[in-house]
Structure 1
Amino acid sequence: MAIPHDQPIVDTMIGFPMRDPKATYGFITKQTKDAESGKLKMPAGYMFKDVPDQADEPEHPDPIAVTLGQMDAHGVSTGLVGVRSEDGKRAVTEFPDRFAGCLSVDPNKGMDAIREIVSAHAEFGIKAVDVFPAGTHPQVAINDKKMYPVYAKCVELGLPVFVCAGIPGPRVPFEPQKVEYIDEVMFDFPELVMVTRHGCEPWVDLAVKLMLKWPNLYYSTSAFAPKYYPREIIDYANSRGAEKVIYAGYYPMGLSLERIMKELPNVPLKDDVWPKFLHDNAKRVLKLT
């Protein structure tokens, strides 16, 4: 059950050291009401030990170079990065063999959100769209009618959508991210490829049942240190779900690649599951060449 030697890794959630973390996380902290959230390194920082330092000084090295160095050191061949920031845009433009673009979308923006998807697809060749239902303001549930134009455009462009599901880390209401809402979306959009992010807890059993039910529904391990991967997901990957579970990290938001790669070999995946989990499934879903 060991990770294959020299196995390339596709990380479906990676980023760059932030020039201004407080501004980056402002969309969340403006919604929280507790005193602690605004003081944390990141809004869910109470859940993580040793949150990686961020690049908030002008003299800090190029954030893209920092992330590339981390990727090279830990065997990550390709990273899925957001293209909202200038660093993300530059990364997918200058290093298209190492970075694939993903556009974060706010469904509250209506048709403007759809135009943003079309523009990012044309200009940056984005490979995916992502939505944080509990982080939108006002919040937009996974099955809300405001989401449907986003899903429809993703189907039209052949893009998967990554959606946070389960209890969110930041101290905002969880209702928009109930895993049960995914069932209605997959029923209405059978061609949509959806990948859940951030664990689906405490409804992991339900997430597994829905992946068995819906062929285009996947699970990614973002924001979870490998030692905390849900047992239900490991069992599913080792049985009927070998094609459905996708590796994702959380660097630099909450986890270092060093910690992830140190813990990863202890995950009890079967030998034939490792290449699918670390590379093949993401390559297929993102249509990477």
Structure 2
Amino acid sequence: MTLPADQPIIDTMIGFPIRDPDGTYGFITRQTKDAGSRRDLRMPAGYMFKDVPDHEDSAIDPVALTLAEMDRHGVAVGLVGIKGEDGRRAVREHPDRFAGCLSVDPNQGMDALREMTAMHAEYAIRAVDVFPAGTFPQVAINDKKMYPIYAKCVELGLPIFVCAGVPGPRVRLEPQRVEYLDEVMFDFPELVLVTRHGCEPWTDLAVKLMLKWPNLYYSTSAFAPKYYPREIVDYANTRGPHKIIYGGYFPMGLPLDRIMAELPGVPFKDSVWPRFLHDNARQVLKLP
């Protein structure tokens, strides 16, 4: 159960230094009601994390900084959002190191579908993501507004990353109940769906649904390795080595130094590590 020292890594949730937290997280804080979320936290789920990376005052180019962190820790490819210019520039200038992911708001209707088509054509995006509890108004995983997004993903051959489980920000959890995934996978058997942010407290149910649905996956985003749910580690070591995908959370909430220092302590079998860190993501994202 040893983490291979030379194992290349695909990080399915990495980003760039956040210079303007209020602007970056405004889409969440506009729907929160507690004073802490609106005023006191550097990020809406900041109460859950310690040592959140702080690069607000850094003069280093954001793309260069993230690339340097990736090089230092053996991250070969990072899946990055392309809503902002940093992400778009990274995908343009370093196509071998960055794969684009488009965050979609199902409230935008046909405009969201047009954006998916345009970004697929221009930036060869490899995935789409949705934060159901962070949409405003909130849109549940199985809401009819989500169905055109799922259908377009199938049409374009793109996986979708969907946050599931209790959200970190202090917003309603209802849109992210894990049982909603069952309906979606039933209606879209061709859809490749990867959960983000833990699926807690329904990780047992998430495992049961991954056993049931061939195209349902789980990523470890936003979790420090020492807190990976036991059910997920056990599943990876038994019937699901092909279903669990590494996702970090740099620089949103976790430094790569901490993630990589804790990873060797995760009790994955030796045969699981290459799949978890690289192979499963490469297959889902259809990377060369």
Rounded to whole Å, the distance in 1 between the matches of 2:82 and 2:12 is: 14
Give TM-score scaled by structure 1 length: 0.99
Cα distance, 1:124 vs structure 2: 0.3
CA distance in 1, matches of 2:124, 2:92: 9
* Residues 129 and 162, structure 1, Cα contact 8 Å, conserved in 2: yes
**Deviation of residue 85 (structure 1)?**
0.3
Report the AA paired with residue 235 of structure 1. D
Q: 1:1-36: per-residue Cα shift (whole Å, max 9, x none)?
A: 111121000000000001211110011111110011
Q: Distance in 2 between matches of 1:4 and 1:162?
A: 27
- Equivalent in the alignment of 2:177: 178
Task: Provide the secondary structure at the position in 2 that maps to 1:192.
Answer: coil
Name the structure 2 match of 1:133: 132
TM-score (norm 2): 0.99
User: Which residue is equivalent to 2:196?
Assistant: 197
Number of paired residues? 287
Aligned-pair identity in percent equals 77
Map 1:133-282 → 2, pairs under 5 A: 133-282=132-281
Partner of 2:50 in structure 1? 49
SS at match of 1:215: coil
Q: Give me the whole-angstrom Cα distance separating, in 2, the residues matched to 1:8 and 1:129.
A: 23
Which sections of structure 1, spanning at least 5 residues, go unmatched? none
Where 2:83 maps in the other structure, the secondary structure is coil
Decide whether the 8 Å contact of 1:151 with 1:189 is kept in 2: yes
Give, in whole Å, the separation in 2 of the partners of 1:60 and 1:195. 35
Taking only aligned residues, the RMSD between alpha carbons, in angstroms, comes to: 0.6
1:35 counterpart residue number: 35
- Deviations along 1:204-226, one digit per CA (max 9) or x if unpaired, are 00000000000000000000000
Q: What amino acid is the match of 2:32?
A: T
Q: Spell out, residue by residue over 1:36-85, the C-alpha distance to the aligned partner (whole angstroms, 9 max, x if none).
A: 11220100000001111033x4x611000000010000110000000000
Determine the structure 2 residue equivalent to 1:71. Answer: 70
Question: Which 4+ residue blocks in structure 1 deviate beyond 4 angstroms?
Answer: none
**C-alpha distance in structure 2 between counterparts of 1:62 and 1:118, whole Å:** 29
Q: Distance in 2 between matches of 1:61 and 1:241?
A: 40
Distance in 1, matches of 2:190 and 2:209, equals: 15
The residue type paired with residue 261 of structure 2 is: K
Answer yes or no: is the 8 Å Cα contact 1:21–1:54 preserved in 2.
no
Unaligned runs of 5+ in 2: none
SS class of match (1:237): helix
Tell me the amino acid that sits aligned with residue 20 of structure 1. D
Aligned partner letter, 1:202: P
**Distance between the aligned counterparts of 1:2 and 1:21, measured in 2?**
37
SS at 1:64 equivalent: helix
Q: Deviations over 1:155-194 (max 9, x none)?
A: 0010000000000000000000000000000000000000
Asked whether 1:23 is paired with 2:23, we answer yes
